[in-house]
Structure 1
Amino acid sequence: MNQARPVLGPNAVRGLETTLSRLEDMGLSDPERVSVIIMVEGYVIGTARTQVHAIEAEKKTGITHEEFWKAQEPVLSRAMTSGVYPVMATLSEESFGPGFDHFEFGLQRLLDGLEVLVERRRTPSAAATSTKDAAERRP
């Protein structure tokens, strides 16, 4: 569904109100709070879209995710032993496997970055002091 121009009914406005109110104590400006919503929503929608595309591909082709990648294995093996992709050739097998939660990892990094900004805003004198100390230590 295209949300570039959402229809703003009572539930949509209520949802935005609820989300904005939860961001109120972060010390961010109004445009920054809206940007936080856009950023997190964009990340979630992008990840969900990838999952939907995978499901649609399986339905359209009748080939499961596992079957698809099994068929790609000879091509990947040749590429990884060619010497042309040395960094990719060193990746562990679990790099793309289901055992690592790429969504959770990415979301936590987004939230960690926001936390750094919020903490910097809450203690501006500490940030200024550490910047001043770092400048004084430079040769």
Structure 2
Amino acid sequence: MSDIVHVTLTQQQGYQFLIDFGAAMPTLLADEPPPLGEDSGPSPAHLLVAAAANCLLASFLFALSKYKQDAGRLTAEARCEVGRNAEGRMRVLSIDVVLRLGKVAAEIEHLDRILGQFEPFCTVSQSISAGVPVHVSVRDGRDTVLKD
């Protein structure tokens, strides 16, 4: 089974593009940072790192739900390093994502199993990691590192 995801981008001015996800979703204005653009919306790198973090949180939530567990409010902080590759071209060099649980680890049953299986379910980060290193860590509500 495969799904088709379709978006339409329309140039507004300069490097600003309106991203249309379809009738049921709001549009989004993307832009490049200076000196190319005006930084009036997320850049392609922002969208990439947000997609990876979103997918990882959803995969973690899916793994939690398999064991009927509630980890409290889930959050993610994500960053990517953008720099030049060996050919001097700008590239996303790495992505780091920190998932944070709202509860402490002791309150979540089967946490070792959950931590061991959620990443392979993440379509986006698993696809990105074929070309860009993606580092994922998980911390609980006391900021204790559960996975690094």
TM-score, normalised by the number of residues in structure 1: 0.33
Could you state the TM-score of these two structures normalised by the residue count of structure 2? 0.31
Q: Which has the higher helix share?
A: 1
